[in-house]
A = this chain, B = another copy of it.
Amino acid sequence: MPHSLSGRAETAMQARVLAELRDHGPLSRTELGERLEVSRTTIGAEVGRLAEIGLAHETGPAVSRGGRRSTMVDLAADIRFVGIAIGATGLVVGVTDGRLAVLATEHVPGDIRRGPDAVLGVALEAVRRLLRDLGVEHPMGVGVGVPGPVDFGRGVPVAPPLMPGWDGYPVRDTLARELGCPAVLDNDVNVMAVGERHAGVARHARDFLFVKIGTGIGCGVVVDGDLYRGVNGCAGDIGHMQVRGDGRRCVCGNLDCLEAYAGGAALAEDATAAALRGRSPVLAEMLAERGHLTAEDIGTAVARGDLEAATLLRESGQRVGQVVAGLVSFFNPGLIVIGGRVSGLGHALLAEIRGTAYQRSLPLATGNLPIVLSELPERGGVIGAARLVSSTVFAAAST
């Protein structure tokens, strides 16, 4: 069936043209041909088909590079994607254009434990509000990240420990039906890693790790520019790797998991214990004032000169560093980005992570390895989610 086969190849080429325009902006036909290694004539035909279905169009003559003048091509200006980043304690929704520039976002507080009906209801309200304000009638796709393991193929959470009531819930299909467009579901760490690759410090990295330290700890793995999910979609689950410890029991049942020491929940507990046992006057004062402590309070206490808080921060950073050192040995990445709420503890935490990781890894692997904090605020998840669905939409658009 040579004819249908050639049809499939064309489709792939159209998706690649769209991805180039999404990632690099308007390009001339000549530039597209060079990037995709096909002739200008082929590009012309592909762009013609994309124009028919309203996804891309020619915008006029390109600046001459000598020789015959080429024609500029751009994505359709009215493409809109929706990104939803659901966290444990709140969610961010956003709307982007075809190049994933964020046009508007809204942050909505809300506990994930209220269950999928309530949380997705709130998310959809916010999305519809944004779409109405922006005058968007038909978003082209919606991407969503949730703080737990996901079956990417089926679009459902799988036994997510922090998300009671979400196990097996058809998140992807619910959003697709409600918004009348294709949807993609992934875990929050993967979504953040993809956002970092599109618009953050990892923009030029092909093989990198995004380590998220929030309530839990996870890692997005990017190989040759694409997300690596592993055979069951649970690659990057580093929160339960074993670290040096005193035999602390993790919620997963094992001993000495990283998350049991360095996750946001564990740090908040340690801070509370330090306050209650009289080891930290600053944390005790903050606890008395507010009735509870968070991981971020440790940073405040450190800034106020609290020694016990500094110890907590140091030990946490060293344990993350121990795991990061192992990942450096195994994966030899070109960049490690640290993100998530706890990364708000900032450069003191980063210094400990770096110190341990560099000390424990071989020089060849760490010689040029930057370990840096994410510079994307919370819209990183929105951009990543939008990007994931954009790839699906582009691939499917012309079949």
Residues of A bordering B, CB below 8 Å: 2, 5-6, 8-9, 33-34, 37-41, 149, 158-159, 206-207, 219, 221, 223, 228-238, 240-242, 244, 252, 254, 322-323, 325-327, 329-334, 359-362, 364-365, 367-368
Contact (Cβ within 8 A) B149 A364: yes
Residues in B whose Cβ lies below 8 Å from that of A2:
33, 38-41
Residues of B within 8 A of A223 (CB): 223, 228
Chain B residues with CB below 8 A from A242, complex form: 244, 322, 325-326, 360
A-B residue pairs in contact (CB < 8 Å), sample of 8: A5-B39, A223-B223, A223-B228, A229-B332, A234-B332, A236-B332, A242-B322, A326-B326
Residues of B within 8 A of A240 (CB): 329, 360-362
| Chain B residues with CB under 8 A of A333 | 230-231
Q: How far is the CB of A296 from chain B (nearest CB, A)?
A: 26
The answer on a CB contact under 8 Å between B6 and A38 is yes
- Chain B residues within 8 Å of A252, by CB: 362
List chain B residues, Cβ under 8 A from A38. 2, 5-6, 9
In the bound complex, residues from chain B placing their C-beta under 8 Å from that of A232 are 332, 364-365, 367-368
How far does the Cβ of A151 sit from chain B's closest Cβ, in whole Å? 9
If A221-B330, A232-B365 are given as contacts, then 7 extra A-B residue pairs at C-beta distance below 8 Å, sorted by A number, are A219-B330, A221-B331, A234-B332, A235-B330, A237-B332, A242-B326, A242-B360
List the B residue with the shortest CB-CB distance to A228.
B223
Q: Could you say which residues of chain B place their CB within 8 Å of the CB of A359?
A: 254
